């Protein structure tokens, strides 16, 4: 495909990800992203016409318009990670307009941010790029810090500012998760009534998910189940961290402990791992996440992660390749873009999009 800014293979410097083609779950079982995704998949749901319109608007904005893939700029870190810590590398992003300009310059399908950021710019930009209002946050000011997602506004406010979609986080596995599931489900229902798309940050959080020095907060099995809970409350799109390991259930059921329900075949049959969840190709692990999103009926977008400086380009392209080849719908990447100059941030977003525009990067 023309107009690509990077060569994916040269950035990866390794063809292993591009050559993997024996996934545990066949691509033929998936509902893959496409230009007619709304007509083919979403139109058979109970979502109303305005939800379909807004989903189509997201899929037909930016450099990826018409492909079925999405590249979203999320900037809620001013609350989630504190404004000073997030914007110190590039203070221009204290100004909400700079965030919107980066999303537009970066060719994104949409911009996700807070009530404050989007409300401050809505009259000038909400008709130019789809707005995704992230309505709940971990406020990170209570001392000592607590980890709870609380609403910062109402669904009607999102609709009044012209948002195409709303977003929320649930910390599955936390003490507060039951309350979060219930109020987010209610607010998603209301958002659908207003005609807005719903996106859920399906994160898990519990100190017990670290076992014998291994962190299972991004294990394929636990994040996969979080995704399945997310689609259960009718999230139209699932946002999830890329899996870094597997075997969370095995670890949490070791010794005298007992947790959840699982079958070893989720590792051996569905993720290409051994019976304890060890091993497994990154694409297999991500595909297990997609499978838990109703086989892609609610598309999976993976997060881009923190900025590590010089390695950001390779990390972002690697994540995009894994997501695309696993059957995901795109990336939602913020810090790697806004913690550098406007031009460099836009170029990094273009590099991510190039993975989805490159026909040689196929579904495994």
Q: What pLDDT, in 10s, does the model give residues 77-105?
A: 999 999 999 999 999 999 999 999 999 99
pTM of this structure = 0.97
Q: Which residues contact 358 (CB under 8 A, 6 or more apart)?
A: 1, 4, 8
Residue with token string 């086989």: 295
Backbone angles phi, psi at 46, to 5 degrees: -90, 10
Q: What is the pLDDT of residue 360?
A: 95
Which tokens hold the place of 202? 């399906």
Domain at 8-354, CATH from 2.60.120.380, 3.30.750.24, 3.20.20.70, 3.40.50.620: 3.20.20.70
- Under the banding of pLDDT at 50, 70 and 90, the label for residue 1 is very low
The average confidence (pLDDT) of the chain is: 96
What value does the mean pLDDT take over residues 23-39? Answer: 98
> Over 60: is that where the pLDDT of 140 sits?
yes
Percent of the chain with pLDDT over 70: 99
> Over 60: is that where the pLDDT of 283 sits?
yes
Q: What is the pLDDT of residue 135?
A: 98
Q: Are strands 136-137 and 150-151 parallel, antiparallel or unpaired?
A: antiparallel
Backbone angles phi, psi at 123, to 5 degrees: -65, -30
Residues involved in catalysis: 239
> Over 60: is that where the pLDDT of 2 sits?
no
> Over 60: is that where the pLDDT of 65 sits?
yes
Instruction: Give pLDDT tens digits for 98-126.
Output: 999 999 999 999 999 999 999 999 999 99
What value does the mean pLDDT take over residues 344-361? Answer: 97
Q: What is the pLDDT of residue 125?
A: 98
Instruction: Give pLDDT tens digits for 175-217.
Output: 999 999 999 999 999 999 999 999 999 999 999 999 999 999 9
- Residue 11 DSSP SS3: helix
> Over 80: is that where the pLDDT of 156 sits?
yes
Q: List the Cα angle 109/357/106 in 5-degree steps.
A: 40
- Under the banding of pLDDT at 50, 70 and 90, the label for residue 254 is confident
**How far is 74 from 145, CA to CA, in rounded Å?**
23
Q: What is the pLDDT of residue 309?
A: 87
With contact defined as beta carbons under 8 Å apart, do 248 and 221 qualify? yes
Q: What is the pLDDT of residue 313?
A: 95
Q: What is the pLDDT of residue 181?
A: 98
């Amino acid at each position: 495909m023309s107009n690509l800014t990077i060569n994916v293979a040269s950035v990866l410097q390794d063809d292993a990800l591009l050559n993997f083609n024996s996934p545990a779950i066949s691509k033929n079982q998936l509902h893959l992203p496409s230009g007619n995704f709304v007509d083919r998949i979403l139109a058979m749901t109970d979502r109303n016409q305005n939800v379909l319109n807004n989903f189509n608007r997201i899929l037909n904005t930016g450099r990826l318009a018409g492909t079925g893939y999405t590249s979203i700029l999320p900037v809620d870190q001013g609350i989630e990670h504190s404004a000073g810590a997030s914007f110190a590398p590039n203070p221009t992003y204290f100004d909400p307009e700079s965030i919107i300009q980066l999303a537009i310059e970066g060719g994104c399908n949409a911009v996700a941010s807070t009530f404050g950021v989007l409300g401050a710019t809505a009259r000038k930009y909400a008709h130019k790029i789809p707005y995704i209002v992230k309505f709940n946050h971990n406020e990170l000011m209570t001392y000592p810090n607590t980890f709870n997602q609380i609403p910062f506004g109402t669904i009607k406010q999102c609709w009044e500012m012209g948002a195409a979609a709303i977003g929320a986080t649930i910390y599955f596995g936390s003490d507060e998760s039951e309350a979060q599931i219930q109020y987010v489900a209610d607010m998603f229902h209301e958002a659908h009534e207003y005609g807005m798309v719903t996106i859920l940050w399906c994160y898990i959080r519990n100190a017990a998910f670290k076992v014998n020095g291994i962190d299972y907060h991004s294990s394929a099995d636990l994040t996969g189940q979080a995704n399945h809970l997310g689609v259960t409350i009718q999230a139209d799109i699932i946002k999830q961290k890329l899996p870094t390991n597997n075997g969370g259930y095995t670890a949490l059921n070791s010794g005298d402990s007992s947790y959840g329900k699982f079958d070893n075949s989720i590792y051996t049959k569905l993720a290409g791992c051994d019976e304890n969840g060890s091993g497994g190709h990154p694409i297999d692990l991500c595909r297990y996440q997609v499978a838990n999103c109703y086989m892609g009926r609610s598309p999976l977008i993976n997060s881009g992660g923190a900025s590590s400086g010089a390695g950001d380009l390779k990390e972002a392209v690697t994540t995009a390749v894994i997501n695309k080849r696993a059957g995901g719908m795109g990336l939602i990447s913020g810090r790697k873009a806004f913690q550098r100059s406007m031009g460099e941030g836009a170029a990094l977003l273009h590099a991510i999009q190039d993975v989805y525009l490159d026909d040689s990067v196929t579904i495994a």
